[in-house]
Amino acid sequence: MKKKLEICCYSIDSAIKAEKAGADRIELCDNYSEGGTTPSYAAIEYSVNKLNIPVNIIVRPRGGDFLYSSAEYELIKNDVLKIKELEANGVVIGFLKKNGEIDIERTKEIVNLAKPMQVTFHRAFDMCKNQHKALQQLIDVGVDRILTSGAENTALKGIDLLKELVEKADNRIVVMPGCGVDEKNLKKLVLKTKAGEFHSSAKEFEKSKMGYFNKNISMGGNDNVDEFQKVSVNANKIKLMLKILKNTK
């Protein structure tokens, strides 16, 4: 079976670039500095209508934790319904309870609400208390895929747990390693984990094309963020990773 590469994109331009490079699927997000939040309706509509590969949309109303208020959860449900109307391939979600357990009730409701779209449970999985228990819970409620770094800061650091999760999943759910996955470590991850899908941002930073800069102002009030660059994807990295997936058994 062909191994797949999903590319995380934080803009329409990046998604177009990733498709041209050969990506198998896009995860469309906004707000790189927040770890990914729900993109605009227009961006979702454009990606679904203009791209020829599957697009999964992250549905996350804010950065921070995954314990959402009732109002935030209503936003999530409404976003899922709007994305479903646009006929996206899938949504990417994640809910935790205060005690670090998966919020199974909300997850199950979103799975049912999203049908026939695919549902990926994102790296809230890595923040939960017990990944082995969570894996079975997500299988039981019908989640299609888990994006995980093996409960570490990078997939490479979490490689042992990733291997265990892929084995335990036994093709009942897709365990997709992600976070820090690149052309330098992908072969090792493929050989060790035996996963069939991998997630990468293949990121690079592009300098602004503005000719004039007012360096006395920060739009976000954060002097540590360079607002005259944007996160993008590197087409060569994507092509190299696709070649690795094709040639690594």
Our count of domains for the chain comes to 1
Total residues found in the chain within this entry? 249
Band the pLDDT of 224: cuts 50, 70, 90: low
pLDDT digits (tens, 9 = 90+) for 16-30: 999 999 999 999 999
User: For residue range 36-70, what is the model confidence (pLDDT) as tens digits?
Assistant: 999 999 999 999 999 999 999 999 999 999 999 99
Parent domain of 124: 4-247
CATH number at residue 241: 3.20.20.380
Q: What does the pLDDT read at residue 213?
A: 84
Decide: 176 and 145 in contact? Cβ < 8 Å.
Answer: yes
